[in-house]
Copies of this chain bind each other. A is one copy, B any other.
Amino acid sequence: MDIKKILENDRVKPYVLKARYGLEKEGQRVDLTGQLVNTDHPENISKSDDHPYIKRDFAETQMELVTPVTETLKELFDYLESIHEVAYRSLDKNEMIWPLSMPPELPEKEEDIIIAKLADAESVRYRHSLAESYGRRKQMISGIHYNFEFSEELLQALFEAQSEVTEFHQFKTEIYMKLTRNYLHYRWFITYLYGASPSSEKNFFNDNSLVEPVRSIRSSKYGYVNSENVQVSYSSLKKYISDISALVEKDVLVEEKEFYSAVRLRGGSQVADLEKRGIGYIELRNIDINPFDKNGISYEQAEFLNLFLVYLLWKDESVHHDEWVKEGELNNEKVALEHPLKPTQFKDEAETILEEMEQLVKTLELSVSDKLFVNERDMLNDPSKTIAGRLYKESQQVSQSQLAVKIAKEYHEKAWDMPYQLTAFTDMELSTQLLMFDAIQLGIQVEIIDRQDQFLKLKLNDHVEYVKNGNMTSKDSYIATLIMENKTVTKKILQKQGFRVPLGEEFNNIDEALRSYALFAKKAFVVKPKSTNYGLGISIFKDGAAYEDYEQALKIAFKEDSSVLLEEFLSGTEYRFFVINDRVEAVMARIPANVTGDGEKTVEELVAEKNKDPLRGKDHRTPLEKIQLGELEILMLKGQGMQINSIPKKGEVLYLRENSNVSTGGDSIDVTDQIREDYKKIAVDSVAALGAKISGLDLIIEDIEVPASNNKAYGIIEANFNPSMYMHVFPYKGKSRRLTMNLLYYLFPELGKMK
The answer to whether B492 and A449 touch across the interface, beta carbons within 8 angstroms, is yes
Residues of chain B within 8 A of A15, CB atoms compared: 519
A453 proximal to B (CB < 8 A): yes
A13 proximal to B (CB < 8 A): yes
A450 proximal to B (CB < 8 A): yes
Closest CB-CB distance, A438 to chain B, in whole Å?
18
- Complex CA distance for A489 and B447, rounded to whole angstroms: 12
Residues of chain B within 8 A of A465, CB atoms compared: 479
Residues of chain B within 8 A of A486, CB atoms compared: 450, 453, 455
The answer to whether A480 and B474 touch across the interface, beta carbons within 8 angstroms, is yes
A682-693 interface mask toward B, CB cutoff 8 Å, 1 = contact, 0 = none? 000000000100
Closest CB-CB distance, A623 to chain B, in whole Å?
25
Closest CB-CB distance, A276 to chain B, in whole Å?
20
Closest CB-CB distance, A740 to chain B, in whole Å?
16
The answer to whether A480 and B479 touch across the interface, beta carbons within 8 angstroms, is no
- Residues from 423 to 460 in A contacting B, C-beta threshold 8 Å: 449-450, 452-453, 455
A168 proximal to B (CB < 8 A): no
A473 proximal to B (CB < 8 A): yes
Residues of chain B within 8 A of A489, CB atoms compared: 449-450, 453, 455, 466
A468 proximal to B (CB < 8 A): yes
A473 interface neighbour in B14, B479, B492, B562, Cβ under 8 Å: B479
A483 proximal to B (CB < 8 A): yes
A477 proximal to B (CB < 8 A): yes
Closest CB-CB distance, A313 to chain B, in whole Å?
19
- Complex CA distance for A452 and B482, rounded to whole angstroms: 14
Knowing A455-B489, A486-B453, A486-B455 touch, does A474 contact B14 (C-beta < 8 A)? Answer: no
The answer to whether B508 and A452 touch across the interface, beta carbons within 8 angstroms, is yes
Q: Which residue of B lies closest to A466 (CB)?
A: B479
A468 interface neighbour in B468, B474, B482, Cβ under 8 Å: B482
Residues of chain B within 8 A of A473, CB atoms compared: 477-479
Q: Which residue of B lies closest to A531 (CB)?
A: B453
The answer to whether A482 and B472 touch across the interface, beta carbons within 8 angstroms, is yes
A515 proximal to B (CB < 8 A): yes
Q: Which of A468, A480, A562 has the most CB of B within 10 A?
A: A468
Q: Is the interface of A mostly helix, strand, loop or mixed?
A: mixed
A367 proximal to B (CB < 8 A): yes
Closest CB-CB distance, A182 to chain B, in whole Å?
26
Residues of chain B within 8 A of A10, CB atoms compared: 518, 522
A474 interface neighbour in B450, B477, B522, Cβ under 8 Å: B477
The answer to whether B472 and A475 touch across the interface, beta carbons within 8 angstroms, is no
Q: Which of A492, A508, A721 has the most CB of B within 10 A?
A: A492
- Complex CA distance for A593 and B737, rounded to whole angstroms: 57
- With an 8 Å Cβ cutoff, the count of chain A residues facing the other chain is 43
- Residues from 626 to 662 in A contacting B, C-beta threshold 8 Å: none
Q: Which of A13, A473, A479, A481 has the most CB of B within 10 A?
A: A479
- Complex CA distance for A545 and B562, rounded to whole angstroms: 44
A663 proximal to B (CB < 8 A): no
Closest CB-CB distance, A197 to chain B, in whole Å?
39
Closest CB-CB distance, A486 to chain B, in whole Å?
6
A483 interface neighbour in B11, B466, B691, Cβ under 8 Å: B466
A300 proximal to B (CB < 8 A): no
A516 proximal to B (CB < 8 A): yes
Closest CB-CB distance, A687 to chain B, in whole Å?
14
Q: Which of A13, A450, A493, A522 has the most CB of B within 10 A?
A: A450
- Complex CA distance for A522 and B482, rounded to whole angstroms: 44
A476 proximal to B (CB < 8 A): yes
The answer to whether A479 and B483 touch across the interface, beta carbons within 8 angstroms, is no
A563 proximal to B (CB < 8 A): yes
The answer to whether B479 and A518 touch across the interface, beta carbons within 8 angstroms, is no
Residues of chain B within 8 A of A538, CB atoms compared: none
The answer to whether B14 and A450 touch across the interface, beta carbons within 8 angstroms, is no
A217 proximal to B (CB < 8 A): no
Closest CB-CB distance, A374 to chain B, in whole Å?
22
- Complex CA distance for A32 and B519, rounded to whole angstroms: 51
Q: Which residue of B lies closest to A721 (CB)?
A: B478
Residues of chain B within 8 A of A452, CB atoms compared: 508, 562-563
- Complex CA distance for A591 and B316, rounded to whole angstroms: 56
- Residues from 363 to 377 in A contacting B, C-beta threshold 8 Å: 365, 367
Q: Which residue of B lies closest to A15 (CB)?
A: B519
A472 interface neighbour in B13, B367, B479, B516, Cβ under 8 Å: B479
- Complex CA distance for A337 and B489, rounded to whole angstroms: 51
Closest CB-CB distance, A458 to chain B, in whole Å?
11
Residues of chain B within 8 A of A477, CB atoms compared: 473-478
The answer to whether B483 and A519 touch across the interface, beta carbons within 8 angstroms, is no
Residues of chain B within 8 A of A365, CB atoms compared: 518
Residues of chain B within 8 A of A297, CB atoms compared: none
Residues of chain B within 8 A of A493, CB atoms compared: 449
- Residues from 468 to 502 in A contacting B, C-beta threshold 8 Å: 468, 472-483, 486, 488-489, 492-493
Q: Which residue of B lies closest to A13 (CB)?
A: B518
Interface set of A (CB-CB < 8 Å, partner B): 10-11, 13-15, 365, 367, 449-450, 452-453, 455, 465-468, 472-483, 486, 488-489, 492-493, 508, 515-516, 518-519, 522, 562-563, 691, 721
Pairs across A and B, CB under 8 Å, 23 listed: A365-B518, A367-B515, A449-B489, A449-B492, A450-B489, A452-B508, A452-B563, A465-B479, A466-B482, A466-B483, A466-B691, A467-B479, A468-B479, A472-B478, A472-B479, A473-B477, A473-B478, A474-B691, A475-B477, A476-B477, A477-B478, A478-B478, A478-B480
Those 4 A-B pairs whose CB atoms lie nearest each other, nearest first: A14-B518, A474-B477, A476-B478, A474-B479
Q: Given known contacts A10-B518, A11-B522, what 10 new A-B pairs fall within 8 Å (CB)?
A: A14-B518, A453-B486, A455-B489, A466-B479, A467-B479, A474-B479, A474-B480, A476-B478, A477-B477, A478-B480
